[in-house]
Amino acid sequence: MGVINSGNTAFMIICTAMVCLMTPGLALFYGGLVRKKNVLVMMMQSFISMGIVTIIWIFGGFSLAYGTDHAGIIGSISQFFGMNSVGLAPNPSYGATIPFVMFFAYQLMFAIITAPLMTGAFADRLNLKGYILILIAWTILIYIPVCHWIWGGGFLEKLGFIDFAGGTVIHVSAGFGALASVIYLGKRVIKKGENLDPNNLVIVAIGTGLLWFGWFGFNAGGSLAADKIAAAAFVNTAIAASVGMIVWTIISVAINKKLKFVDLLTGAVAGLATITPCAGYVDPKAAVVIGIVGPIVCFISIAARRKMNLDDALDVWGVHGMGGLTGSILVGIFASVAVNTVDGGIHQMLIQILGVLIVAIYSFVVTMIILKVIDSICPIRATEKEQLRGLDNTLLGEDAYWE
């Protein structure tokens, strides 16, 4: 049994609170990007996850993700069900110097934010009942198994696949689930000549700031201790976000001949998504390269999505899905034993490619099945009338702004 270290415990409490703040940050980020008639529904989809996913996590979710492994696929549902054996003593397998309940809480915050990442893709066209049912099914059938495969002793972890803070577990699973949802739901209903620009870039900027701030806890907390690996993850996060912001802006100005504030913000998020799987495995020089390559891949992916005529409203697949995928492969190249326990090379890169492809395909296929099954039980797409009038007014009876 490990001995609790007060410094490490304090560090994890702060990191957990920072990751918790990212979900409201995501709500503001997405809420500012949509049209003003859909702001509240967009934000509510993030906030309601904080309640629903917490209940799932307590009653079986955490146990399935981190309980004793069964055939490399899933954990034991009974081991930690109802927070059984999740107490103040450390669990040597998951943070030997912090209370096990802090590991539970930290991982809960990851579970909460993952499905809401998808909401930007199908913005403006999903009804509330459909979203809630999808949130529950997606968390249980996709997030929890993938989490176990990579972090809970599952087959990908045993294979040697690495993901420091969720590039694959969170961003690839959500990004490719988003792609499936866009294909299944089709395009939004939009009035001819309607302005699709963000309704409030100030809110988007505040959301980006909260995400960026929270991302330091998101990545550095993956060390589960206030140590050199956490320090490396912190610095790498700052570097990749900043480099990503500038690279994205340069590309956008070169192509569009115009500097736009939203490009700065999007580039930072692309850099953050790409560095996430690498953060505690690479040195700062590699973080610069990752901050360059990630946004380039994301920008190209968004251009390809537009050519395919897919209505990913806030480019979740292009930024999060492809950013996470790119970082998950790059960590196989740039990982260094000088930082952590894994060295990059052809063997590790091939493991990374295999693992990320398995998760991407699994998330895409199972998301498509979830959508079809739920839609066959109750329609999940908002009606044309609801979309034209606005989801806030028709589904909530509320408005974000006074006229």
- pLDDT tens digits, residue range 33-80? 999 999 999 999 999 999 999 999 999 999 999 999 999 999 999 999
Residue burial 100-132, b: 16+ Cβ < 10 Å; e: rest:
bebbbbbbbbbbbbbbbbbbbbbbbbbbbebbe
The CATH code that applies to domain 6-189+199-396 is 1.10.3430.10
Q: Does the structure show a pLDDT above 70 at 192?
A: yes
Q: What is the pLDDT of residues 218-228, one digit of tens each?
A: 999 999 999 99
- Summarised one tens digit per residue, pLDDT across range 100-157 is 999 999 999 999 999 999 999 999 999 999 999 999 999 999 999 999 999 999 999 9
pLDDT value of position 99 = 97
Checking if the pLDDT of 2 tops 90, the result is no
Percent of the chain with pLDDT over 70: 100
pLDDT of residue 1: 58
pLDDT in tens, 244-283: 999 999 999 999 999 999 999 999 999 999 999 999 999 9
pLDDT tens per residue across span 171-180 = 999 999 999 9
**Quick one: how far is CA 237 from the chain centroid?**
15
- pLDDT of the residue at 402: 81
**Of residues 232, 255, 222, 249, the one with CA closest to residue 103:** 222
pLDDT score of 112:
98
All structural domains of the chain with their residue ranges? 6-189+199-396
pLDDT at 403: 64
For the record, the structure tokens of 35 come out as 């049209």
| Residue-averaged pLDDT of the chain | 97
- Buried-exposed string 45-84: b where 16+ CB fall within 10 A, e elsewhere: bbebbbeebbebbbebbbbbbbbebeeeebbeeeebbeee
pLDDT at 174: 98
Question: Which token pair is 101?
Answer: 């309940």
